[in-house]
Amino acid sequence: MDLRHARTFVTVAELGSVSKAALRLRIAQPALSRQIIDLEHDLGLRLFDRVGRRLLLTGEGDQLLAGCRVLLNFAGALTEQAQLLRHGDTGVLRIAGSPQHIESVLSQFLHRYAERYPKVQVKISEGTGSEILTMLERGEIHLGQNLLHAVKLDERHFGSLPLGSVELLAVCHPSMPLGRRRTIEVGRLADFPLLLMDSGFGFRRAFDAASRMAGLKPTIVFESRNPHTLLALAEAGHGVAIVPSQLQCHRYQLKAVSLTYKGSLLREPLTISWDKRRPLPRFATDYCGMLAAYMREILPITRPDRTARHKRDSASGATASHR
């Protein structure tokens, strides 16, 4: 059914007059009458009876009236939704990131983003570097957060925005003899049992690359996809966990030191990427800029030796309060 004909039909039915309907719809009476005739021809039904100067609905027309109103209301809602989508203020944003990014960054950042785009629904997927790239290539997500060197992005197809850098940290129970400095050479980890993220994570591959450069053959006692499993094991004295400074460690009794190679801190740049072959809505491009600004404010989330000191300060405060 032509929406113009449906609108004409509803207006004539409500006003009971071709002349009044023509004025409201701002079309000539002959054209309006032609639309009614065309609609009756298309439907194979007589919709109006003429009684004096008024047009009254037939029984069939009366039954069709409610359906036409629903049709027009639905079309109006679709038009309004399309206008909102053109303005970039509403829709669904699909993103993916690592577990530590979701916990340490998105858990708070999404509140800020919602203030700017309250009508955008954000759907989050968790994944490793290669998994996130696959989601982008399949069109399952708009944006994917990753370490820059975790995957090889084809620059012809993918765009990216820097989000800052994360350091590689070694964290362990304060009693473990990592030394008193705030840094440790990666080669010195040969003397310690190591707790590592599994090989699917870009951060793990960055550590493996640094180990090869340093000639380190690590003693790996446990691998996990959950970084907090590593922190719990490290707190219990089972080894040294290698984690990114983006991870929240303050809930654990741990000592944290930065990893170095030949005196230089081991850092990995973070990015957020998208498929340039798919146009991004404005709320997605703004998400990237807002996230980059937010991460400049908060990184690094965990600093060398910050966790143990935080715990000691908290314990001292609790003891003083008890006294």
pTM assigned to the model: 0.66
- Model pLDDT, residue 85: 66
| Beta bridge mates, 126 | 97
Where the chain has pLDDT below 70, the residues are 77, 80-81, 83-88, 150-151, 306-323
CATH 3.40.190.10-classified regions of the chain: 90-164+271-298
- Model pLDDT, residue 54: 84
CATH of segment(s) 3-87: 1.10.10.10
3-state SS of the chain is CCHHHHHHHHHHHHHCCHHHHHHHHCCCHHHHHHHHHHHHHHHCCCCEEEECCEEEECHHHHHHHHHHHHHHHHHHHHHHHHHHHHHCCEEEEEEEECHHHHHHHHHHHHHHHHHHCCEEEEEEEECCHHHHHHHHHHCCCCEEEEECCCCCCCCCCEEEEEEEEEEEEEEECCCCCCCCCCEEEHHHHHHCEEEEECCCCHHHHHHHHHHHHHCCCCEEEEEECCHHHHHHHHHCCCCEEEEECCCCCCCCCCEEEEEEECCEECEEEEEEEEECCCCCCHHHHHHHHHHHHHHHHHCCCCCCCHHHHHHHHHHHHHHHHHC
Rounded Cα distance between 116 and 293, Å, is 14
- Model pLDDT, residue 81: 64
CATH class of domain segment(s) 165-268+303-316? alpha beta
CATH 3.40.190.290-classified regions of the chain: 165-268+303-316
Rounded Cα distance between 109 and 123, Å, is 14
- Model pLDDT, residue 150: 64
- Model pLDDT, residue 317: 42
- Model pLDDT, residue 205: 87
Unique residue bearing structure tokens 């850092």: 267
Residue 275 identity: D
User: Which candidate, 203, 119, 140, 209, places its Cα nearest to that of 167?
Assistant: 203
On the 0-12 / 13-18 / 19+ scale of CB atoms within 10 A, 9 is buried
- Model pLDDT, residue 77: 67
306's CB contacts (< 8 A; 6+ apart) are 249, 250, 256
Q: Hey, what's the torsion of the CAs at 301, 307, 313, 314, to 10 degrees? A: 80
CATH class of domain segment(s) 90-164+271-298? alpha beta
Q: How many residues does the chain have?
A: 323
- Model pLDDT, residue 320: 39
Q: 46, 60 in Cβ contact below 8 A?
A: yes
- Model pLDDT, residue 80: 62
CATH 1.10.10.10-classified regions of the chain: 3-87
- Model pLDDT, residue 151: 65
- Model pLDDT, residue 87: 67
